Structure 1
Amino acid sequence: MKAANIAALARAGVAIEVVAETGSTNADLLARAAQLTEPLLLVAENQTAGRGRAGRSWLSSSEGSLTFSLAWKFDGGPQALSGLPLAVGVALGDVLGQLGVQVQLKWPNDVLKDGDKLAGILIETQAAQGGGTWAIIGIGLNLIMPDEMEARLGRGAAGAPWLARMERDVLVAALLDGLAEALRLFARHGFGAFCARWNLRHAWQGETVTIIDNGTVLHEGLAAGVDDTGRLLLDTLDGRIALLAGDVSLRVKP
C-alpha cells in the first residue's frame, strides 16, 4: 500500500500515512494527538499489538487483515460522541455492502458476517488543545481467516476473500471515503442520523440475549434494537430497559 495512491483514489481530503509495521495504530495516533491539526488516517501493513475493547488483544496478519486508525476532531467533549462506534459500524456496513459483502451489526462495536466477527471497532478519545475532542477510530477487518488464526482466537471468525482479492489501496480509499462522510454527518446530527440504518443491520433483532459483565449475567431479554443515542433496547420480564455500552458482553442465549 502507498499513501499517495490511496490519497489519489479517495475523495475524503484526509492526510494519509502507511507504515510497514507498528504495535498499534490507535496507540500511535493517541500519542500524536496533541500535535495533530487535521484528520489523519494511519494504516499499518502489519500490526503486532492490536487492541480491542476493554484491553483485549486483536489478532491480525499482514496477508489476511486490514488494520488502520483514523484520527478525527469533534467539537465538544466525549459525551457528545455517544453512539459513535455504532455510526462507524453503519458506515462500514454500507461500504462493505457496496463492495459485495453483506454484513450485520452487533451492539456495541462489532461487524458480523454469517454470524461471525468480520471487523471490530475501537474508539479512544483525547482532549484537543484549544477545545474539542480527538476521536481515534481503530478498525480491524478480517480478509482471510485461516484455520490456524481461528485456533488462536478460540472461536469462529469471518473472512471476506472477495475483498482480499481487491487492490488494498482501492479498498482503503473506499473505506476512508465512507467513514469521512459518516463522521461529518455524525458531527452535524449525532447518532440519530444513523439509528434506523443500524437497526436494519441488527444481527440479533428479536433474539433472546444476555448482557454479561465479568462472567455475571446482568440482564436477559429480547434485543429490540437501539435508540437514537445508541443505547441497546432490551425487552425484559420487567419491561423495556436501555443499556449503555460500558464493558459488557452481549451474547445470544442458546
Structure 2
Amino acid sequence: MLVQGERVAKLLAGSDNANVKDIVVEAVAQTGSTNADLMQRLPTLALPVLRVADCQSAGRGRAGRAWRTAPETSLTFSLAWRFERPLHALLGLPLAVGVALAEALQVLGVQAQLKWPNDVLRDGAKLAGVLIETAADGGAGQATWAVIGIGLNLGVPPDLEFELGRAIGAAPELQKQPRETVLAIITSALADVLVEFERYGFGAFIARWQAFHSYAGQPVKIIDNGRIVQEGIAAGVDVMGRFLIDTGAGQAAVLAGDVSLRLQEQAS
C-alpha cells in the first residue's frame, strides 16, 4: 500500500481543523473508481468519507473520459460530503473545489493555476482534474450528497505524453513528501472550502478563483462538439460559476456543459 489510511486519519484527527474531525478515511490498493464506490454507498453513509486508492482501473474524468493513473506517479481519491442544500444551490461547486486544491498545493510549494471549469494546471499543462457527482440525500429536507473525485499527477509515466499527444503537468517535488501528509493537507483545505461554500455559495470564492485564473485577459475560444461557439477575451467567472468572455457583441456567460475552453492559438 502506498497510502496508509490510518496515518491520514491520525493526521486529520490531530489537526486544529474542526472541519475534518468526523471524516472517515479508507485506503485501498486498487479499485475500479473511488467515485463509483462512494456513490453506491451514499444511502448508508452518515459521515463524510475520504476514499483513496493507489490504483483505479476505471477512473473517470469529465464527460466520462478515462483518467489514466499509475500508482507511483499519481494520487487519486474521492471525498463524499453532505450539504444541507438542494442540488440547484450547488452551482459553482467544482470551481470552489478547484480553489481548495490550488490553495493546498500552494501550501505544499506548488504554484498551480485554474482552468474553467474543473482543471488545475501547472505551466499550462494539466496537473489535476476534478469530477463531482451528486445525489439527493433521500431523507427529510433537501440535503445533497456530493462525491468529489480528484486525480493529481505527481509524476509523468514514460511515453504517456507521446501517447496522449499533449504535455502533462506534474508535481514531482510532492513525491519527496509522505503521501499521507499531502493528502491530509488537501483534505483539510477541501473541508474548509466545503463548509464555507455551504454557508455562502460560490460568490465567496470568485476573487480567490480569479487569483489562480490561468487564462485571465487572454484570447480564448469555447468549443462545443468540435465547433467554436464563442471567441473573445477571458474575463473570469460569475456567482453561478459561469465563464465570462468579452466578445465583440458584449460579455457572454458560458455554462459548464460538455464544452471545452482553449486559448486561441491552441488546436480545437
TM-score by length of 1: 0.98
For 1:128, the equivalent position in structure 2 comes to: 137
Is residue 234 of structure 1 aligned with residue 245 of structure 2? yes
Tell me the C-alpha RMSD between the 2 structures. 0.9
Corresponding residue number in structure 2 for 1:158: 169
TM-fit CA distance, 1:150: 1.6
Deviation at 1:41, TM superposition (A): 0.4
Partner of residue 138, structure 1? 149
Cα displacement (A) at 1:129 = 2.1
- The offset of 1:98, in angstroms, is 0.8
Pick the aligned partner of 2:213 from 198, 202, 208: 202
Counterpart mapping for 1:40-189 below 5 A:
40-130=49-139, 131-189=142-200
CA distance in 1, matches of 2:11, 2:148: 21
> What TM-score, normalized to structure 2?
0.93
Name the count of aligned residue pairs.
254
Question: Which residue of structure 1 aligns with residue 201 of structure 2?
Answer: 190
Partner Cα separation in structure 1 for residue 93 and residue 195 of structure 2: 11
Structure 2 spans left out of the alignment, 5+ residues: none
- Is residue 223 of structure 1 aligned with residue 225 of structure 2? no
Question: 1:4 corresponds to which letter in structure 2?
Answer: E
1:244 equivalent in structure 2: 255
User: One-letter code of the match for 2:10?
Assistant: A
Where does structure 1 lack aligned partners over 5 or more consecutive residues? none
The separation in 2 between residues aligned to 1:111 and 1:55, in whole angstroms, is 18
Q: Aligned residue for 1:2?
A: 4
Secondary structure at 1:89's aligned position in 2? helix
The separation in 2 between residues aligned to 1:16 and 1:147, in whole angstroms, is 31
Distance 1:154 1:16 in 2: 36
Write out the 4+ residue segments of structure 1 that deviate beyond 4 Å after TM superposition. Answer: none
User: Identity rate of aligned residues, in percent?
Assistant: 55
Name the CA distance, whole Å, in 2 between partners of 1:20 and 1:134. Answer: 25
Moved more, 144-153 or 233-242: 144-153
Question: For residues 179-236 of structure 1, what are the alpha-carbon distances to aligned partners after superposition, in whole Å with 9 as ceiling and x for unaligned?
Answer: 0011001010011111101011100001111111110111111000111221111101
CA separation in 2, counterparts of 1:98 and 1:148?
30
Alignment check: 8 A CA contact 2:70 2:157 kept: no
What is the CA-CA distance between 1:165 and the residue it aligns to?
Answer: 1.2
Partner Cα distance (1:49, 1:151) in 2? 21
DSSP 3-state at the match of 1:147: coil
Q: Could you report, residue by residue, the CA deviation over 1:88-109 in whole angstroms, capped at 9, with x for unpaired residues?
A: 0000111100110000000000
CA distance in 1, matches of 2:27, 2:162: 29
Which has the higher mean CA deviation after the structures are superposed, 39-48 or 8-17? 8-17
C-alpha displacement of 1:148: 1.6
Aligned to 1:214: 225
